[in-house]
Structure 1
Amino acid sequence: MSLITPPLAPPPAYEPLPNNHTSPPESAGRTKRGIADSDKRWPAGVVTVALDLSSEKSKALVVDAIREWAHHTPALRFNIVEGKTGDIRISDDEGLKGNWSAIGTEAKRIDEDQPTMHLNRTDDSKKLRSTALHEFGHALGLLHEHQHPQNSLDWDSPQVYDYYTSDSFNEAMVREHILEPDNRPDLQITPYDPQSVMHYEIPAALRRNGQAIPKNTTLSAGDKQTIRMLYPPVNPT
């Protein structure tokens, strides 16, 4: 994982990958992760999170995911409310598609009547909670682990292109969002973490060594370390 220190051009909210595969990633970002973008971290204090979700079950699962992050962000307190008014606005509106989130404070640049995070509706509680955990990581400023500059994935590129390319996700996008590591010189690197909740699930066929990376559904030790580095105690003792 790593921290990005310089200002970047603002990325829009994350776009979904095509879902015509049996086990695709939940979303494809326009920025990269291994990594947290410290330029987009929330200032210390209270962050209001508004939930505009369709069921009490969904609300409970999303709140549980937020609380898991909250244990490791001592600089932040989350004020969770129902409705559409907040710093982070989470929706499962069926008129929107995909699981995605703005990156950190890029949420401030989204119209106040629009969500800053979207979660597809599902009856699969485990899937919804793990997706919420991943997307809320983005909402805090975390990026995607599979594009860590020191990743050891050793992609089988032809297989990757075949797996991900579709009418809505072309080869250039596959290169940008899947294959290319983030090699910007201004990264502060912490170790690559294949157990990160911010890592995509990787089918075995997409790696030359034939080893799959499963979907991670809880915060890893590396996730906890990185988010605490991003949001350390205001007055550590």
Structure 2
Amino acid sequence: MQCGRPLRQHREPSFPCWPLLGVSPRVEIVRLTSQRSGNAPSYPSPLESQTPASASAQRTKRSLADASKLWPAGVITISLDLRDQKSTALVLDALREWAHNTPALQFRVVRGRKGDIRISDDAGLKGNWSMLGTDAKKVALNKPTMHLDRNDDSKTFRAVVLHELGHALGLLHEHQNPEHDINWNKEAVYKAYTGGDISKELVYSQILELPVGEELLVTSYDRESVMHYEVSDDLTDDARGVEANNWLSDGDKAIARKLYSLTR
């Protein structure tokens, strides 16, 4: 199952220092000195509602987390196949934010295309998306399990990485939490997102659909979750949207610690 993140754009932030090493003992940086050849072109800001055509066929109903997709305690190798040092630095920074809250996991980060979670910004692929948790094991070893659209807006890019890493750890969309209090204007939602490669069915599955299933872990609704889409006022009947969330909320941290506790 793949999850994507259709968001409207964030504001430009300051860029974190590189490299940020030693922030967490659970992140091991390996062979990040090798560089890919070639100069990467410039790319516009991503339309994050884009996902591969195969995504809709793999979707299942969702909530905050799917307990059946959690990684076992231990080391997860994460490979980075990214265009430049800046993108790599932002991914590492986002990864450390999650690492502080997943005590049962250790992230071993390598450059290249061999890992349990394989992150790519290949310009030949579309959209920001990730396989859900251990569904990454179902992907051919020569294919990425997560894709990030290239983006020179550091704050937007880092927020997207946080969101997609959440999916890679088994977390699902918070705006689809059955306890949400969003008064969706469904007609406006479909009008805003449907078009091109984005079908009405995909919009429904990513935004409006509510979860069912025995393996779903549902917690109290968290409007500040990084797993929540930004919702503009015009997409609701009461003009009460949800601002973009660029950092892990207290709720995100709490659920990550619960899912990946040392005692689970």
TM-score by length of 2: 0.78
Unaligned runs of 5+ in 2: 9-44
The CA deviation string for residues 24-79 of structure 1, in whole angstroms up to 9 with x for no partner, is 65567734554111111100000000011110111010000000000000000000
What amino acid is the match of 1:156? N
1:221 equivalent in alignment to 2:250: yes
* Contact 2:114–2:141, Cα closer than 8 Å, also in 1: yes
* Contact 1:94–1:120, Cα closer than 8 Å, also in 2: yes
Q: Which residue of 2 aligns with 1:149?
A: 178
The CA deviation string for residues 102-128 of structure 1, in whole angstroms up to 9 with x for no partner, is 001111110111111010111111111
Q: Which residue of 2 aligns with 1:14?
A: 3
Q: Report deviation, 1:187.
A: 3.9
User: When the two structures are aligned, how many residues end up with a matched partner?
Assistant: 222
1:182 equivalent in alignment to 2:211: yes
SS of the aligned residue for 2:204 comes to: helix
% of aligned pairs identical? 49
Q: Which residue of 2 aligns with 1:100?
A: 129
Please give the alpha-carbon distance, in whole angstroms, between the structure 2 residues aligned to 1:217 and 1:116. 22
SS of the aligned residue for 2:227 comes to: coil
Q: Which residue of 2 aligns with 1:111?
A: 140
Go from structure 1 to structure 2 and tell me whether the alpha carbon gap of 1:16 and 1:95 turns closer, same or farther (over 3 Å shift): farther
Please give the alpha-carbon distance, in whole angstroms, between the structure 2 residues aligned to 1:138 and 1:178. 15
- Bigger drift between 205-214 and 38-47 goes to 205-214
SS of the aligned residue for 1:48 comes to: strand
- C-alpha root-mean-square deviation of aligned residues, in Å? 2.3
Q: Which residue of 1 aligns with 2:191?
A: 162
Q: Which residue of 2 aligns with 1:206?
A: 235
What amino acid is the match of 1:52? D
Unaligned runs of 5+ in 1: 1-10
* Contact 1:25–1:201, Cα closer than 8 Å, also in 2: no
1:66 equivalent in alignment to 2:85: no
Q: Which residue of 1 aligns with 2:158?
A: 129
Q: Report deviation, 1:23.
A: 9.7
Go from structure 1 to structure 2 and tell me whether the alpha carbon gap of 1:91 and 1:115 turns closer, same or farther (over 3 Å shift): same
TM-score by length of 1: 0.86
* Contact 2:91–2:161, Cα closer than 8 Å, also in 1: yes
* Contact 1:32–1:147, Cα closer than 8 Å, also in 2: no
